[in-house]
Amino acid sequence: MEDNATMIVCPSKGDIRTAVNHLRGRGRTIGLVPTMGALHEGHMALVARAAELADRVVATIFVNPTQFGPNEDLSTYPRTLERDLQMLREAGVAAVFAPEPGEMYHTEAQTVVETTGLSRVLMGRLRPGHFRGVATVVTKLFNIVQPDIAVFGEKDYQQLAVIRTMVRDLDIPVRIEGVPTQRAPDGLALSSRNARLTEAQRAAAPVLSQAMAEAAELLAEGETAEIARARIARLIAAEPLAQLRSADIRDAASLAPVRGRPARPVVILLAVRFGDVTLIDQRVVQTRGEPT
Ligand code: PAF
């Protein structure tokens, strides 16, 4: 079989394991791009990065139920499998693992993976159990595919920190690579959830990146984290369709809370609700303030 000409689509763990063994051939490296489908240019940037770093790219499409809370959007999360497969095929992906929940989770599954500190702060406080679901499914995907490299978006900044920490703590032999957030021309971070916004909400949504840009400017000028955060809250409150869920300014490396004038790079983490859709965004800022 010519494994760089056709894309193999595997619904079962056994099939993807066989496909990956074949792709690996004589020492070829495997780059993994885990996704929940509803692909957009942000995902395709992950695929492109994986293709730069590894000999063969494997993608996964799985809307993971364990990372959604009881009142979250699992049932309405966009599902566009045929279109997704076409996009991955055109991008030269070698194999796709697209299981059903019953294939991924044993009916009596009782084992979870959790980064106990990182998963309970920030978005983890707003979405209890979310990062445990992410860490568990990503560990399972790593065990099933056994990639050399795995690529994730920096938009989900806390998710990336959780995955890096979990890989470090559990000695998982995979290199984790982050890819900068891809944006629409008006600044809105690309996200599968953008498809669920009404026209008016979509027009209002760039307020996230605008608020972060203003806060970043303040921080870069030496203003305090409190002033920058207050500016974000004011700008979001001025947009009638937007409701602020959280705005945090944290140490970019450790995600520890930051007060006063930050002396080290910080990350702005923002979650804003439009109707029943919550959008998140992030921005890392190099600061020049002295600690107060
Ligand atoms: O970022 C996502 O799409 C998901 O959280 C991931 C990493 C594929 C796990 O389900």
Distance 49 CA to ligand 1 centre (A): 17
> Beta-carbon neighbour count of residue 221 at 10 Å?
11
Distance 64 CA to ligand 1 centre (A): 8
Q: Whose CA is nearest to atom 9 of ligand 1?
A: 134
pTM for the model: 0.94
- CATH entry, 8-179, from 3.40.50.1970, 3.40.50.620, 3.40.50.2000, 1.10.287.3510: 3.40.50.620
> Beta-carbon neighbour count of residue 6 at 10 Å?
11
> Beta-carbon neighbour count of residue 145 at 10 Å?
23
pLDDT of residue 287: 84
Distance 36 CA to ligand 1 centre (A): 6
Q: Whose CA is nearest to atom 5 of ligand 1?
A: 134
Distance 34 CA to ligand 1 centre (A): 6
The rounded distance, in Å, linking the Cα atoms of 151 and 50 is: 6
Q: Which atom of ligand 1 is nearest to the CA of 36?
A: 3
* Class in CATH terms, 192-285: alpha beta
Q: What long-range pairs does 283-286 form, CB within 8 A, spacing at least 24? A: 283/209, 283/212, 283/213, 283/215, 283/216, 284/252, 285/215, 285/216, 285/219, 285/220, 285/252, 286/220
Q: Which atom of ligand 1 is nearest to the CA of 34?
A: 8
Distance 253 CA to ligand 1 centre (A): 21
Quick one: which of 168, 158, 166, 161 has its CA closest to 137? 166
Instruction: Name residues contacting ligand 1 (CB within 6 A).
Output: 34-36, 64, 67, 134, 137-138, 156, 159
3-state class of 176 per DSSP? strand
> Active-site residue numbers?
43
Q: Find the helix or strand (DSSP H, E) in which 233 lies.
A: helix 225-237
| Residue to mutate (ligand 1; options 32, 39, 134; most atoms within 8 A of CB) | 134
Q: Whose CA is nearest to atom 1 of ligand 1?
A: 35
pLDDT, tens digit only, all 292 positions of the chain: 334 469 999 999 999 999 999 999 989 999 999 999 999 999 999 999 999 999 999 999 999 999 999 989 999 999 999 999 999 999 999 999 999 999 999 999 999 999 999 999 999 999 999 999 999 999 999 999 999 999 999 999 999 999 999 999 999 999 999 999 999 999 999 999 999 999 999 999 999 999 999 999 999 999 999 999 999 999 999 999 999 999 999 999 999 999 999 999 999 999 999 999 999 999 999 987 655 4
Q: What are phi and psi of 25, to 5 degrees?
A: 45, -135
pLDDT of residue 1: 36
| Terminal-residue alpha carbon distance, the chain | 64
Q: Which atom of ligand 1 is nearest to the CA of 63?
A: 10
Enumerate the domain spans of the chain: 8-179, 192-285
Q: Which atom of ligand 1 is nearest to the CA of 156?
A: 1
The rounded distance, in Å, linking the Cα atoms of 218 and 249 is: 12
Are residues 189 and 279 in contact, defined by beta-carbon separation less than 8 angstroms?
A: yes
